[in-house]
Chain A
Amino acid sequence: MTEKRELRVKPIVNGTVIDHISGGQALNVLKILGISSRSKYVVSVLMNVPSGEMKGKDVVKIENRELDPEELDSIALIAPKATINIIRNYEVVGKHRVVLPKEVSGIVRCGNPNCISNTNEPVASRFMVEPAGEEVQLRCSYCEFVIDQDIADHLL
């Protein structure tokens, strides 16, 4: 007898599903996307879901909001394997795998307390995204401070 596969969260009618998020990073993904408890969308979050190719993945479903896949690329910093599915009337009408952007702005705080981006100046933090072995590192465009681990801890 085959075990019946149970859906943990029901499919959404319209909206965006972000799948294959690295396990435990779903809340950070929402943070990058600016989705908080004050947002009016219905958001479902699944964490540490067993997955064939990944040890445990997170999934985020946002109802009635289609996110621009290009805008979502910045989540690749913490979820490099994430895929974006745009859903209309239960059908996947668009699929996009996140691509590491060359630069990210206003997402991460520079770790150098003496950086101009950590002052009252009207300037958003900006980092160049650089490969570092299999990982990525961020280099501040202003002071050149390098964040090479725990990027999620530096999220604004």
Chain B
Amino acid sequence: MNFTRKHIISTKDFSRDELDFILNRAERLEPNARSGSRLLDGRIVATLFYEPSTRTRLSFDTAVKRMGGTTVGFDSASSSSTVKGETLADTIRIIESYADAIVLRHSKEGAARMASEISRVPVINAGDGAGHHPTQTLLDLYTMRKECKKPISDLNVAIVGDLKYGRTVHSLAYALSLYDAQLSFVSPEGLKMPASIINYMKRKGIDIVETSVLADALSKADVLYMTRIQKERFPDPAEYQKVAGSYSITMKGLEGVKDDLIIMHPLPRVDEIAPEVDASKHARYFQQSFYGVPVRMAVLSLLMGVEV
């Protein structure tokens, strides 16, 4: 396949072939994610993080360094020229003359799209407000591909938690629909998957189950994708406690699940997964975090035109 995309902004931009193309490259690069390489020797990647992030920023940083490149950048808006009133557009025009690629996280939706229209060097969206986070989706797909015994198209994936506001789940649901996976959306009534996404899936003929009871989805699931329910979404703290408690995974709660079930979580977790589950054969969330490195190596090397 001839991959001609210059920037990575939204999962929705991709075809299934393009996603597979990136995941194949990640697989080839995975050994280098531990041992290192010189693929990006002499290249500089700017990581512009206007909002805090631990995993995403550090895994991009690691990905660049595992390929022999270097990073420049900042990790909060307060340490950038934004505090002096500089626009993102100006910052991008300046940084594109320093770096070979730009990784951007910003609080405003559409920031990465705008940056990509300005920048001559590739822009990778590392999260734009409540918008997109395409490399998270890529690493989620990569985790399913590596850790499940069936191809993604045959999986039953239960996505659990805040499905209304969670940006990772919207992108993930869209990507899984490209593979025709079976999807269960498990959420409290007030945090259901937006109707626009449900309608889109139904139009495409995707097999969907919507429920507020975790047990309904658990026994059939091959993948349990947990997400955090944020306290601030509930005006009443008691209501939050009740809801959060009902979507919490414990060893007892995992009785009767499929033997091959894997549990994923984009992290950070709070109470959704009890620490006792970490040692179970189902837990994959830390492995999932690691897969962020080869996937981001794939994306960076691809956009910078490095043959792998």
Contacts and interface: CB of A to CB of B under 8 A. Distances in A.
Contacts of B113: 116, 141-142
B89 A143 contact: no
Interface of B: 10, 12, 87-89, 106-111, 113-114, 117, 128-131, 196
A112 interface: yes
B87 A143 contact: no
Given A121-B87, A122-B87, 14 more contacts: A112-B109, A114-B109, A115-B109, A116-B113, A116-B114, A116-B128, A121-B88, A121-B114, A123-B114, A141-B110, A142-B114, A143-B110, A144-B131, A145-B109
A138 interface: no
A51 interface: no
A100 to B, nearest CB: 21
Dominant SS at the B interface?
mixed
A142 B88 CA distance: 14
A143 B129 CA distance: 9
* B12, B129, B131: most-surrounded residue (chain A CB, <10 A): B131
| Ranked 3 nearest A-B pairs via Cβ | A142-B110, A143-B109, A116-B110
Contact of A115 (B10, B88, B108, B196): B108
Contacts of A122: 87, 89
Nearest to B108: A116
B87 A116 contact: no
A106 to B, nearest CB: 14
A119 interface: yes
Nearest to B12: A144
A122 B117 CA distance: 12
A23 to B, nearest CB: 31
